[in-house]
Structure 1
Amino acid sequence: MSDWLTEKLHDDYAQSLRIGEMLYDSKTEHQRLKVFQNGTFGRVLTLDDVVQTTEGDNFIYHEMLTHVPILAHGAAKRVLIIGGGDGGMARAVLDHSSVEHVTMVEIDAGVVAFSKEYLPQLSRGAFDDPRLNLVIADGADFMRATDGGFDVIIVDSTDPIGPGEVLFTDHFYGHAKKALTPGGILVTQNGVPFLQGDELTGTMRAFQSLFSDATCYLATIPTYAGGPMAFGWGTDSDARHVSVEVLQERFAASGIKTDYYTPEVHKGAFALPPYVERLIP
């Protein structure tokens, strides 16, 4: 099995990906980075042997964490991304010509540097877009100190272990709420509920104390194995209930081409199966 990478994120479940060719393997100040070629998923990025993104299926994750809140909001001009060092999230946000400014806060400069070299197809020039302000800093520290003014905040974090753990705390979510404009939307990566239910429950408990509308939505991403992934949703607006007709108008006006997101998928993603509903306090 030496030509396979086995991800052991969960106690009772593991997945393996064949390593066709190891392209990069190095430890930064914060974590160990690997990029390898896989026959099905193309280039695969792992941090501490946990899959972060792949060429093959990253579009699902990035489209659903960007287009859902931005099109639901309808007038988002300033967007904050916490994490996302590979640049894929920034690229998806910047696909919206209506977005005027994006601040991206990444703790690990090494992730950005090697992603530019080894995964340029994820960012596709996003780091050179004049609307992007890249900040190398701890996301929690930035959120605590920022003056805010963001219409949409996207928390593109790793799992709640290591550097990403602080991004799942009540204090962090409270600071994020203060950084939103009135009617702003906070969305978060909350793992696979079937295997990481406590992660979703903890976030939803914090969101319910902060927002009038707190829930999650789902998308199925093959390399985040174990069932659909949950994305936390928090806002004081009624943006979740915007009609599919309005979403269709906004989506058409954006001119964005997608491989997963549609207005109909957007609406359906908020329809939760009972086992996920029961994880929301």
Structure 2
Amino acid sequence: MKISSPEWHIEPISTGLIQAERITSVLCEVQTPFQHVMIIDGECFGRSLILDGKTQSTELDEFVYHEGLVHPAMVSHRNPKNVLIVGGGEGATAREVLKYRDVEEVTMVDIDQKLVEVCQKFLPNHHMNAFKDPRLKIDFADALNFVDSLKKQYDVIIIDVPDPLEYGPAYRLFTLEFFLLLKNRMKLDGILVIQAGATGPSFSEQCFTAVANTLSQTFTICRGYEIFVPSFGSTWGFVTASEKIDPSTNTVANIDSALKTLSLDG
């Protein structure tokens, strides 16, 4: 649902609740073959990516979301070499993965080439030149078909796509069919993480619970967690899935040790 005015970005958060930000400038507005894309400068959150009327990331707090998405899985793996990113068009997810100097190859697949091109141009503070890293390979394709055709397996798989709105480009990427494909493309000691939407009493039934339940039909170990993202107006949920790795067993000492071992930049 898109609600807007010439001077404000107004976004429904939940029933009876909206969030509004004054727009200082619209840098880009385009309809791609897959979605409506806006990049704005806002008075509160700074430069922001908005897809189909929903805020995806903002200059003020994108690091909260992207660090929360990437690092629990990467640190829990202990030795990630090959990483698959599904979505992540603004390049910030790749940016966080590429901080690990021992990562050898990152494959990013996104259906919307125009979106990625727009983000490369207008969101430099999001991607921080990650697109120029020689370890990153980008494929523009339908993710389900792409994963189905893959022959290799990955240490870490990160799903960073918009919420599964019916008929939206990401809808099929939250299904049991896709999760089964991903399991076959993940090493036995690998781990997957997916953004799973807003959490809390008025949100969790919309997406988070469904994602967690579907993943639990596919993987032995599934763990959910949440963080607060101010620009989303809500806590936000993520789910990890694996056959061998349980992030909930991590201790502060283990995490500190892993971060030193993993040669993390930034």
Q: TM-score, normalised on structure 2?
A: 0.92
1:178-235 CA-to-partner distances (Å, cap 9, x unmatched) read 1100111110010112224231222122221222211211111111223x11101111
What residue is the counterpart of 1:247 in the other structure? 255
Give the alignment of 1:1-281 within 5 angstroms.
2-8=6-12, 10-161=14-165, 162-194=168-200, 195-226=203-234, 228-240=235-247, 241-253=249-261, 254-257=263-266
Q: Distance in 1 between matches of 2:150 and 2:19?
A: 39
Counterpart-to-counterpart distance in 1, 2:186 and 2:232: 29
Over the matched positions of the two proteins, sequence identity in percent amounts to 33
Deviation at 1:11, TM superposition (A): 4.6
CA distance in 1, matches of 2:187, 2:49: 34
Structure 1: any 5+ residue segments left out of the alignment?
A: 258-281
Aligned-pair CA distance for 1:252: 3.0
Cα shift at 1:145: 1.9
Q: Secondary structure at the match of 1:8?
A: strand
Once residues 111 and 16 of structure 2 are traced to their aligned partners in structure 1, the CA distance between those partners, rounded to angstroms, is 30
Verify the 8 A CA contact 1:148 1:181 in the aligned structure 2.
no
Length, aligned pairs only: 256
- Secondary structure in structure 1 of the residue aligned to 2:118: helix
What are structure 2's unaligned runs of at least 5 residues? Answer: none
- Kept in 2: contact 1:73–1:239 (CA 8 A): no
Q: In 1, Cα distance between the equivalents of 2:264 and 2:209?
A: 36
Distance 2:244 2:21 in 1: 41
Q: Which amino acid aligns with 1:25?
A: E
Q: Deviation digits for residues 49-68 of structure 1, max 9, x if unmatched?
A: 11011111100111111111
Superposed CA deviations along residues 94-123 of structure 1, whole A, max 9, x for unmatched, are 011111100000110011111111001111
TM-score (norm 1): 0.87
Read off the aligned partner of 2:118 and give its amino acid letter: F
Question: Alignment partner of 1:220: what SS?
Answer: strand
